[in-house]
Chains A and B, each alone.
Chain A
Amino acid sequence: MTTTTADTAATESDYVPEEPGFWSRLFHLWPVKLAILIIVIIWVIPTLGVLITSFRAPAQVQETGWWTVFTNIGSNEWTLSNYSDVLSSEGFGNAFLNSLSVTIPATVMPITIAAFAAYGFAWMDFPGRQWLFVLVVALLVVPLQMSLIPLLRLYTTINLNGTFPALWLAHTGFGLPLAIYLLRNYIGSLPSSMMESASIDGATHFETFTKLVVPLSVPVLASFAIFQFLWVWNDLLVALVFLGGEPDVRVVTLALNNLNGARQQAWHLLTAGAFITMALPLVVFLSLQRYFVRGLTAGSVKG
């Protein structure tokens, strides 16, 4: 009895393929890996140079290239003073708060309004439902440059220029087409049997929307939120036109642009400033990449 088991075990183990060793795994497909490594290095180096420079002493930044930190390891002077200078005397600290004040409401407001509209387009009956949605699809690609001049005039007459609400509203308007499009595609693909049973149970449209549709749509709401957050945070044009460069309201992109204009060769400040503007979007992006990719592919690959 025991011998038989041992025998079968032995024969079975004969068929187990040998685990490839570390080196053979490393060099498997090496031309592909080499090509990928080269592209990755090219893609990372620009950002790496900025990151390293932002921590170097100002005198050293002007004297030697950032890549020499790898060869003259002994004589490097590292400092945080570039960051403290940029945050306080160049006003990036205030600009960072301004950017948050602009971005968070300008991300949340279009989502609420677009979610209601997406539900209406997907599940309610009204005249012009089809062609109004086609209009939304068409508006997806209208350059926002078309809106700048008339909106600036409108804002001037109601005295809204240079205020945060001006940007909240403008970004809400500009973000709506994509938001409605993405959300309607998702909300429209929820099973109709579910909607009907909710209706039979006596739920109104409003209840179906808040208690059923919104909880089920969290992934697509998240992916649009990331889009809009990155877009508003990184925007320069809309902020330049409607907010202007006044230090008390300007956002980080404007602060960086002004620094770039005023101190062309102050690389220790420019690199630190650039990194301050990048930090939050990079964190948001890298931690929520999954949702972002899902939103991108849902928006483009379908069909």
Chain B
Amino acid sequence: MSERAAFEFEQADGIEPHQTFGPEYKGPGPNLWTQVLRILVSVAIPLIAFGILYWAGTVVLDEDANRVLVVAVALIIGVFGVMFLFYAMDWLVNRLPERYRHYVLPFVFVGPALFLLGVFLLYPTIVTFKLSFQDRFGEGFVGFQNYVDLFTDTNTLEALRNSILWVIVVPALAVGIGLAFAVLSDKLGSKGEAFSKSFIFMPMAISFVGASIVWRFIYNFRPEGFGDQIGLLNGIWSGIGFEPVAWLLQEPWNNFYLMVILVWLQVGFAMVILSAGIKAVPEDVLEAARIDGANEFQVFWRVIIPMISSTLVVVLTTIVITVWKVFDIVFVMTSGEFGTSVVAERMVTEFFTNSNEGKGAALAVVLLVAIIPLMVLNVKRFQAQEAQR
């Protein structure tokens, strides 16, 4: 008993990763000047870097400039410039009296990132909340009018319905096919497995725009009598004796034809993660189940699935978030017409095409609010992980 406790203690002592280190400081605590210095070092690096970038990117290198030069300058600033700023800031802070140095130094490291997160994510989130209660020019307050409009307007209601359909169908199919492929390819030799996986994986490198073009070609339609079908689906369809169909105009089925594109893109992700999860199931557990008389189906459903359930949850939530924010596919394929709009696409249409800032902001808030439960789940999962460490 005590032996085990000692062992655990040793282990914990050895691997505890998040104890900090450095010379211990027993001087006076932080004061007002420490706070000011902390903010200064956090803000200085991004602002100086921005100033140089701005100067280099708009004054020195205008539109006619050589692109290679632009990239070279940006790289020099982005890597060496930023690195040098960190170095200079570290040097400056080390010239400070000990009591300031101790309290300010960590903010040289994390400050710039926190400042950028604030400017590019936190501050805009707050402003967007505020804008969602304002009119289309982002001026006078209109109360909940934008939200009332969202939930009474037929366009946005349709977008909500479609988004919910997307969020149900795409993750289910992507995880189903990905899991099936992971299990099947696991039975091949390692070479065959890696080879076959890379084909399923490949669409992950393709942009949503590119994938949309690829699939718009597949769904391409020509009315009968206007020549051979050059879209694959209608080629097959008319080849087996049916009349060609304008697939993307078939409400409400066109929604599913668009979902196929995202499934095609996401199965690779599901497969890779689930495959790693399946390989982590210990072989002797599977062996024990087989000795107890379980057949391969029982092994799969009663042993493998429960053992990879946490991985399944991670994969599902990740894909759900991706699907919920999908914009490009609908925008490129149908521009949200023919009953195919989704929330993220409406958001851009309202804000960008119709220049209605209030409504666009309200739609963005809807996007965020629906994700908050997953955000909480994410944070809880992270805290559980930390507790295990």
Is the CB of B154 closer than 8 A to any CB of chain A?
A: no
Stretch at the interface among B144-152, B158-166, B356-364: B356-364
Comparing B211-219, B249-257, B298-306, the segment that makes contact with chain A is B211-219
Mask of A38-80 contacts with B, CB within 8 angstroms, 1/0: 0110011111011001000000011111110000000000000
Nearest-CB distance from B300 to chain A (Å)?
13
Contact assessment for A100 and B90 in the assembled complex, using a CB-CB cutoff below 8 Å: no
Q: What string of 1s and 0s marks CB contacts (under 8 Å) between A287-298 and chain B? A: 001000100110
Contact of B22 among A124, A188, A191, A273 (CB under 8 A): A124
Question: Would you call B181 and A286 a contact (CB within 8 A)?
Answer: no
Contact of B54 among A135, A160, A188 (CB under 8 A): A160
CB of B92, distance to nearest CB on chain A (Å): 12
B67 touches A100 (CB 8 A): yes
Q: Is the CB of B121 within 8 A of A116?
A: no
Contact A67 B314 (CB under 8 A): no
* Contact of B58 with A by CB under 8 A: yes
Task: Establish whether residues A117 and B214, one from each chain, have CB atoms under 8 Å apart when the complex forms.
Answer: no
Q: Which B residues are CB-close (under 8 A) to A132?
A: 110, 114
User: Which listed residue (B67, B119, B181, B227) contacts A63, Cβ 8 A?
Assistant: B227
Which single member of A32, A158, A192 contacts B19 (CB below 8 Å)? A192
Q: Say yes or no for B354: interface residue by CB 8 A criterion.
A: no
Known contacts A39-B177, A151-B120; decide if A176 and B113 are in contact (CB<8 Å).
yes
A63 close to B228 (CB less than 8 A): yes
Residues of chain B contacted by A135 (CB below 8 angstroms): 117
Residue A233 at the B interface, CB < 8 A?
Answer: yes
**Contact residues of B: prevailing secondary structure:** helix
Which of B337-352 touch A at CB < 8 Å?
344, 347-348, 351-352
With most chain A CB atoms within 10 A of its CB, the pick from B16, B213, B328, B384 is B213
Whether the Cβ atoms of A169 and B120 lie closer than 8 Å is yes
**In the complex, which residue of chain B has the Cβ closest to the Cβ of A230?**
B205
**Hey, which chain A residues are within 8 Å of B112, CB to CB?**
113, 116-117
The number of chain A residues touching the other chain, given as a range, is 35 or more
User: Do residues A53 and B207 form an inter-chain contact, with CB atoms below 8 A?
Assistant: no
Q: Say whether A65 contacts B367, CB under 8 Å.
A: no
Within A97-148, the residues touching B (CB, 8 Å) are 97-98, 100-101, 104-105, 108-109, 112-114, 116-117, 119-126, 129, 132, 134-148
Give the complex CA separation of A118 and B207 in angstroms. Answer: 29
Which chain B residue has the least Cβ–Cβ distance from A68? B228
- The distance in angstroms between the C-alpha atoms of A120 and B275, with both chains bound, is 33
Pick from B2-10, B122-130, B167-175, B285-293 the stretch touching chain A: B122-130
With A293-B272, A300-B273 in contact, is A173–B117 under 8 Å at CB?
Answer: yes
Whether A168 contacts B94 by the Cβ 8 Å rule is no
Interface residues of B in 176-232 (CB under 8 A from A): 177, 180-181, 184-185, 187-188, 196, 198-210, 212-218, 220, 227-232
A101-B67, A146-B124, A147-B124 given as contacts; is B109 within 8 A of A117 (CB)? yes
Which residues of chain A have C-beta atoms less than 8 A from B131's C-beta? 149-150
Q: Is B133 an interface residue (CB 8 A)?
A: no
| Contacting residue for A233 out of B46, B207, B280, CB 8 A | B207
Contact, CB under 8 Å: A143 / B277: no
Chain A residues, Cβ within 8 Å of B200: 39-40, 43
Q: Tell me the smallest distance from the CB of A150 to a CB of chain B, in Å.
A: 4
Taking a contact as CB atoms closer than 8 A, the residue among A174, A193, A195, A301 that contacts B273 in the complex is: A301
Please, what's the 1-or-0 string for B264-294, where 1 marks a CB less than 8 Å from any CB in chain A?
A: 1001010011001100100000000000000
Measured between beta carbons, the chain B residues less than 8 angstroms from A39 are 177, 181, 200
- Does B315 make an interface contact (CB < 8 A)? yes
Closest to A60 in B: B230
Distance in Å: Cβ of B29 to nearest Cβ of chain A: 10
B113 touches A180 (CB 8 A): yes
B71 at interface by CB-CB < 8 Å: yes
Determine whether A228 belongs to the interface, using a CB cutoff of 8 Å to chain B: no
Contact residues of A: prevailing secondary structure: helix
Closest to A197 in B: B21
**What distance in Å separates the Cβ of B181 from its nearest Cβ neighbour in chain A?**
6
- State whether A112 touches B208 (Cβ < 8 A): no
Is B75 close to A, CB under 8 A?
yes
B78 to chain A, nearest CB (A): 4
CB < 8 Å neighbour of A117 from B74, B113, B276, B315: B113
- Alpha-carbon distance A64/B239, docked complex (angstroms): 13
A222 adjacent to chain B (CB < 8 Å): no
Q: Which residue of A lies closest to B87 (CB)?
A: A206
Q: Does A211 contact B (CB under 8 A)?
A: no
Q: Which residue of A lies closest to B361 (CB)?
A: A149
Check: A234 CB closer than 8 A to any chain B CB. yes
The smallest beta-carbon distance between B167 and chain A, in angstroms, is: 13
B203 touches A236 (CB 8 A): no
Complex contacts, A98 vs chain B, CB 8 Å = 67
Docked complex Cα distance between A301 and B379 (Å): 15
Asked if A237 is at the interface (CB within 8 A of a chain B CB), the reply is yes
Contact of A277 among B184, B210, B331 (CB under 8 A): B210
- A-chain residues with CB within 8 Å of residue B207 when the two chains form the complex: 233-236, 253, 277-278, 281
Q: How far is the CB of B231 from chain A (nearest CB, A)?
A: 8
Report the bound CA distance from A62 to B229 in whole Å. 9
B245 interface contact, C-beta 8 A: no
Within 8 A of B (CB), among A4-29: 29
Question: B203 touching A147 by the CB < 8 A rule?
Answer: no
Pairs A-B, 5 closest by C-beta atoms: A173-B120, A120-B109, A234-B207, A117-B113, A285-B205
Jot down 10 A-B pairs with beta carbons below 8 A, ordered by A.
Answer: A36-B185, A45-B232, A113-B82, A120-B109, A146-B124, A176-B117, A192-B17, A253-B207, A293-B276, A297-B273
Known: A122-B17, A151-B124, A303-B388. 19 other contacts (CB 8 A): A29-B188, A32-B184, A53-B217, A65-B230, A104-B74, A116-B112, A117-B114, A123-B21, A129-B106, A134-B383, A139-B121, A140-B375, A143-B368, A151-B120, A176-B113, A230-B205, A271-B213, A286-B205, A300-B315
